[in-house]
Amino acid sequence: MAVLTKAPRGTQDILPSESYKWNYIEQTILELASQYGFNEVRVPTFEHTELFNRSVGDTTDVVQKEMYTFEDKGGRSITLRPEGTAGTVRCMIEHGLFNEAMPLRASYVTSCFRYEKPQAGRLREFHQFGVEMFGSSSAAADAEVISLASQIFDTLGISDISLEINSIGCPECRKKYHEALKAYFKSNEESLCETCKGRLDKNPMRILDCKSPVCKEISKDAPIILDYLCDDCKEHFESLKARLDALGIEYTVNGRIVRGLDYYTRTVFEFISNNIGAQGTVCGGGRYDGLVEMLGGPKTPALGFGMGLERLLLVMEKSGCPFPERAGCNIYIGSMGEKASIKAAQLTAMLRREGFNAQSDVVGRSVKAQMKYADKIAAEYSCIIGDNELDEGVVKVKKMATGEEFKVSLNESVGDIPDMLSFVYDSVMHTAMLNMNSAVESFGNIE
């Protein structure tokens, strides 16, 4: 007996009973991104490892502990993407897109891979929606990108979520901050984890992002970057806050946010939910003005964010956010005999071409089994075509919810519209309008 192979730890199957929720979320966020001028880009699942070493940073947890890296058959070091920004920047440089009109805007829905301890909202293969904007150094761009994320949450019905912002400065003002961090952590060096001991001289800011409970506790009293910002970075941060105020977007300044990747500069932000436990960050992002140039492109200011779809779905379910009903079968056309089966297939194909969800028997079930199947798939209407129906040219269509029956011609047309199509169109549209009116009335009764 063959042994069943299960999905690898840290991955999950998205079943047909759940995929409609994913489709709804992805369609919603991509449409909103399009309204802001962001057009979808698709990049490879794997890249040369050096891309992530150079961009994400060799002192980050992602590079040091979490990347899926392997040698291909040509001996090249390849890594499954741990995040979406680096590959998008590489794509823009390679195809010369920085010669186009600025700002350049790109969005994506993609899978990412990190070797982490699996838990609720954190998987080894996870999915991310992201946007990247290139060509603007203004705080207006920061506010616009944050506004898009905020509007996504509003549109999906997520209310219990908070925005936290910070500035981690530019390379110049960070030099002084790094010296202050080194001095602080030197006094606690013996208590730091081995990874952070190695970061102390090279990149002490990464200690602030360490997941070790001991390092987290030590970091609580560490110097705050906001006290070391240069005048330009202070002005940029104040401008961002003024713009968020003007847009009516509430926020809290959190001087401890540094984000987990090395390419960030100036603005960093996180949207945090209180409904999903410790892994509460649903969206994170910021500015990365030096990354394009670092990867071989022209000097180009840039910013963006990543939004975890697993966590987004978890927040929506925990918060009781509404999902549209899963698309069901509008009509099931059963049959008895070969000629009737062919007629049922013809009608089904005609209805599908007009955009309806129609099904007919492809298994060879008995009439009783076909009706049971129609009930299981929650068909709105059903009918059975046999020899008598073919001879008479008429079939009885039953409304499954009430048992009400209607006679429908198999041959006649109203103008150029077959009677079956006309019946399904009128019936389904009428039901849809009733449901819409009921929803509007319910919405109007909410206090």
Fold type of domain 331-431: Rossmann fold (3.40.50)
Convert the pLDDT of each residue in 276-335 to its tens digit. 766 688 999 999 999 999 999 999 999 999 999 999 999 999 888 889 888 889 999 999
Question: Which CATH number applies to 17-170+230-319: 3.90.1150.10, 3.40.50.620, 3.40.190.10, 3.30.930.10?
Answer: 3.30.930.10
Q: How many whole angstroms separate alpha carbon 224 and alpha carbon 171?
A: 16
pLDDT given at position 435: 46
244 neighbors 271 (Cβ within 8 angstroms): no
DSSP assignment of 185-204, as one string?
Answer: HHTTGGGS-HHHHHHHHH-G
Position 379 pLDDT exceeds 90: yes
Residue 191 confidence class, pLDDT cut points 50, 70, 90: confident
Position 200 pLDDT exceeds 70: yes
Residue 59 confidence class, pLDDT cut points 50, 70, 90: low
Read off the pLDDT of each residue in 252-279 and give the average, rounded to a whole number. 84
Q: How many whole angstroms separate alpha carbon 268 and alpha carbon 208?
A: 14
What are the structural domain ranges in the chain?
17-170+230-319, 331-431
Convert the pLDDT of each residue in 152-170 to its tens digit. 999 999 988 999 999 999 9
331 neighbors 397 (Cβ within 8 angstroms): yes
pLDDT given at position 117: 83
pLDDT given at position 277: 66
Convert the pLDDT of each residue in 330-367 to its tens digit. 999 999 999 999 999 999 998 999 889 999 999 999 99
pTM for the predicted model, two decimal places: 0.85
Q: How many whole angstroms separate alpha carbon 90 and alpha carbon 305?
A: 17
pLDDT given at position 438: 42
Contacts 24+ apart (CB under 8 A), 317-325: 318/273, 318/275, 318/276, 319/157, 319/158, 319/159, 319/160, 319/273, 319/275, 321/156, 321/157, 321/158, 322/157, 323/20, 323/21, 323/24, 324/20, 324/24
Across the chain, mean pLDDT equals 88
Q: Which residue has the higher pLDDT, 428 or 80?
A: 80
